[in-house]
Each structure stands twice: as C-alpha cells, then as structure tokens.
C-alpha cells in the first residue's frame, strides 16, 4: 500500500483500525517532500520533527481509543496562516524573520481535531497573484506536464499554488488556502484537485495575514470533494476574535456529499460565456451540465448582468484594502528592518527591499484610489457596483439552488507566458472574482483534461451559508466525471 495515495477518509479509517500508524503516514509524506520539494518548491518551511511529534501524539490518542475528526492526518498549511513558533512569511521577504507567538483560529481548529502539520506551503507574495510567480521564495512548479511539451514548466495557479501542488503531487493529504479573488479555486483547477471557498464569515480570518479584509476567505484543498468537506468541517466555526465571523452552526458537510441532486435547479449564467474561450472548456462545461441533467437536476439559463464589472471592481477594492493592511509592514515592529538615516528613510528602505514588484504595484494602485480627490470617483463607486453584483446573485438564487460555470478561462500556462502583461494575468480571475465580491461559497471540481492532457475544473457557486448544496453538486460532478488522472510529478509516480 502506498500511503501517500490514500484519501483523508480512507486514511482516517485505516488509522482507527491500526492498519498503519500516524507516524508511518507522516513519514511517507515527509519522504515525498524530501524527494519532490527541491523540484516543485511547494513548501517554504518543512517542520519534520514537529510533524513526527504530532504524529506520535496522534498514535497515543488512537491507542487510548480517542478519535478526533483529523487524528493523524498530515496537512500543508498555507504560509499565510500564523502558526505559533513556526516562521510565517506570507511569501514575502519582508516577513522572512517573523515567528508568530500565536496560532491562527483555522490552524488551531485543525490541531484541536488531531491534524499533523507537515510545513508551510509556498504562495504568491501576500496572496497577490494568479501564478505563484510572485513569491519571495521562488516560483512553485505545477506537478502536471503537457503531453506534447514536457519541457515546459507550468504554473500551479495562485495565490495558493503551493498548497494545490502539494496535494496534487501527494506531498500532503490536504491543505489550507485562502481565496481573495480565486486563489483556492483557480490553483485547484490548474492542479487537478478539488478546492473550496466557503461563504465569507464561515471560517475565521483571525491570525491570517490580511490581503483584502472584506474579500479574504480561508478554505481547504484535498484530493476528493468528501475530503474537502471533512477539512471544512474542522476549519469552520464562529470566532469572537473575528468581528466578521458568522455565528451560524457548522453542518455536517461530509454527509451533504451523499445527497441526491435530483430536483435541484442549476443556473447557467450567460455572462460566463466569453469570446475566445477555449473549446475544451466550453465542451467540459456542457458535459458537466449534461451530467447533472442526467442525475435529475434542472438546468436553467440565468443572467448576472453586472458580472462584466466584477474584475475591474475587484482591482479597485482589493488594492485599496491591501494598501491599508500592508501599511503595518514598516520595519519598526516586526519582520525585516533596513537601516535608514531617519524614520522615513527606514520605512522607505524596508518596504522597497521587502516588497516584490506585484505587491508594490497593488499598494500604489490602492493608495491612489483612496487618495483625496479620487476616493469618490473610484473606491466609493466600486463599492456601489459591488452591491449590484451581490444583488444579481441574490435575485438569481431566488430561482436556482446553485450555479455551474468553468473555474478558469484556461488550463495551466507555462512560466513566462502571460507574465509581461499584468492585465492578462488579472484575467485569470474573471470567473472566480464575482463570488468573492458577493461573499458566496464556491468550489472547483476537476472535470476532465484538455487536449494537452492538463486538468480543467468546473465551478459550483452556492447561496450564502449553503455549502451543503455546493458539496452535493460538487460530489455529483466528481462521480460523473470519474476523474482519476494523475500528475506526472508525484510521490510514487
């Protein structure tokens, strides 16, 4: 048995009957990291000794008959989540020396439920990017390769590219991510794994390094929809330390994966049909709708008329919030410090040295749109358009139970492609951004391969706090697709 090929559900069952130990499971994944991480760069920090200690504690708990939901399950933690005593960089050199004295709520919840942390996964700097090329710790390589051109090094998507690549390559059984404009769903699509962005407020943001506070959504990656449901069940919950955390019950997401979709009304937004969209993606979309129709769902054409403004609105709101959030990185209180002749010089040298080009670009954009004379023209107007986008979703969800769309407008592209044009890079988020603007849940499910043998994802979008229907539809698509393709670069491959 190759332990790195197990799903979380299967590993959980095996651990409980002592078919193998948590230490053996952890050692198998640490061995995979040792072999593959020099090639994929999916982890910034590997915490091997700590992981083995946690695995031993899990084995001791299992021997006492104590079974928490994730006891002994090895996970990767996106390096945006503060982890007590373990360096947390947010993919930025400005936080290179930062070791948090506290644990984020989401990671604390996972530890409470017995999870084993393998290390901190690589990411775009401060979660700003769609390729994982902006990381201060080097680019992540997608474990998938093109059939016709195996020499091309593909991006895993971003910003949670390290998490998606680690799960896809069998270097972790699951992982945390964050999604501000598509940063879970797009890399999930590029790497051929499921990924979930829950409703805004479902998972606490406390202890998560902020990018855009009104848009950031923590969520999970895993190898199956069911595994994502298991992880989200542990990650979610009300947190009084986060003023935006929703005080709503956490349902049994895993049970929702077994629900029938017969009778569900599935909306198809006409605005998601883009000019020039690859035939492979259009074909998969239609196939996915056909699978749901065959399962008894009703397919309904709907309109989200303000979708076309989603991306431009996002690139006003998100940089504005980033400009405010990143003001704290000044070299005085924590993180990198460059010496200066006076305080202002210290600020300027520290931020110039610590921030990469993409972060500087977005901070400048955000500062501009918040400046006197432009606040009303840009930021205030963008917030009004955001309200219209939410209204579109509210009106559509009065008619349908969920929406199904493509996740991304392309399969994974090669490092260097599209990189010289920031606008072209921002278009990677065109299908995912509207759900962030509205705060509604979304999931990417691998549905098939394109002509180059690269994975393509289908996106399920649901009503606020109705992740159960999202999981039901996602699981139905997963069963129908029967997606069992594996990346070329993986443990045991």
Catalytic residues: 78, 159, 183
Strand 402-406, strand 298-302: pairing: unpaired
Are the C-beta atoms of residues 23 and 55 closer than 8 Å to each other? yes
User: What would the two tokens of residue 196 be?
Assistant: 């979930």
- Separation CA 367–CA 356 (nearest Å): 16
Q: Give the single-character DSSP code of 376.
A: I
The dihedrals phi and psi of 428, each to the nearest 5 degrees, come to: -60, -25
Closest-CA residue to 470 (of 395, 406, 403): 403
Angle at 245 between CA 240 and CA 246, to 5 degrees: 110
- Give the 3-state secondary structure of residue 397: coil
H/E segment holding residue 35: helix 22-40
H/E segment holding residue 444: strand 442-449
Closest-CA residue to 455 (of 141, 97, 191): 191
Beta bridge partners of 45: 120
- Separation CA 273–CA 278 (nearest Å): 11
Beta bridge partners of 302: 269
Residue with tokens 């937004």: 269
- Separation CA 192–CA 156 (nearest Å): 10
Alpha carbon 436 to its chain centroid, in Å, reads 12
């Amino acid at each position: 048995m190759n332990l790195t090929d197990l799903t979380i559900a299967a590993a959980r069952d095996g651990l409980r009957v002592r078919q193998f130990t948590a230490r053996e499971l952890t050692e198998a994944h640490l061995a995979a990291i040792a072999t593959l991480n020099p090639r994929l760069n999916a982890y910034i920090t590997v915490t091997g000794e700590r992981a083995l200690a946690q695995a031993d504690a899990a084995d001791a708990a299992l021997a006492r008959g104590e079974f928490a939901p994730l006891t002994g399950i090895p996970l990767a933690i996106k390096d945006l989540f503060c982890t007590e005593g373990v360096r947390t960089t947010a993919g930025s050199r400005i936080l290179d020396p930062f070791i948090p004295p506290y644990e984020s709520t989401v990671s604390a919840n996972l530890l409470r439920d017995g999870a084993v942390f393998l290390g901190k996964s690589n990411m775009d700097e401060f979660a700003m990017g769609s390729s994982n090329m902006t990381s201060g710790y080097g680019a992540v390589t997608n474990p998938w390769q093109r059939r016709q051109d195996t020499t091309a090094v593909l991006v895993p998507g971003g910003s949670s590219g390290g998490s998606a690549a680690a799960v896809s390559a069998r270097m972790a059984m699951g992982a945390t991510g964050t999604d501000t404009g598509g940063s879970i769903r797009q890399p999930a699509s590029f790497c051929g794994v499921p990924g979930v962005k829950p409703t805004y407020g479902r998972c606490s943001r406390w202890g998560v390094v902020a990018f855009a506070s009104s848009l950031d959504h923590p969520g999970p990656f895993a190898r199956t929809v069911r595994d994502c449901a298991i992880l989200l069940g542990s990650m979610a919950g009300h947190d009084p330390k986060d003023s935006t955390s929703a005080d709503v019950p956490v349902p049994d997401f895993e049970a929702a994966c077994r629900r029938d979709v017969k009778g569900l009304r599935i909306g198809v937004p006409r605005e998601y049909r883009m000019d020039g969209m690859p035939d492979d993606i259009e074909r998969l979309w239609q196939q996915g709708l056909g699978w749901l129709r065959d399962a008894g769902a009703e397919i309904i054409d709907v309109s989200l008329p303000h979708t076309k403004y989603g991306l431009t609105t996002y690139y006003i709101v998100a940089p504005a919030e980033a400009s405010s959030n990143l003001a704290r990185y000044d070299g005085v209180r924590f993180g990198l410090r460059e010496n200066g002749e006076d305080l202002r010089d210290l600020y300027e040298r520290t931020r110039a040295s610590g921030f990469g080009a993409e972060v500087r670009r977005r901070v400048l954009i955000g500062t501009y749109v918040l400046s006197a004379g432009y606040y009303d023209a840009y930021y205030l107007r963008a917030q009004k358009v955001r309200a219209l986008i939410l209204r579109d979703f509210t009106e559509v969800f009065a008619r349908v139970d969920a929406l199904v769309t493509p996740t991304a407008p392309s399969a994974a592209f090669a490092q260097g492609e599209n990189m010289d044009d920031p606008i072209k890079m921002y278009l990677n988020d065109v299908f995912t951004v509207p759900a962030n603007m509205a705060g509604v849940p979304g999931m990417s499910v691998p549905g098939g391969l394109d002509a180059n043998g690269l994975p393509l994802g289908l996106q399920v979008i649901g009503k606020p706090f109705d992740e159960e229907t999202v999981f039901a539809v996602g699981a139905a698509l997963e069963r129908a697709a029967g997606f069992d393709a594996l990346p070329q670069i993986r443990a045991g491959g």
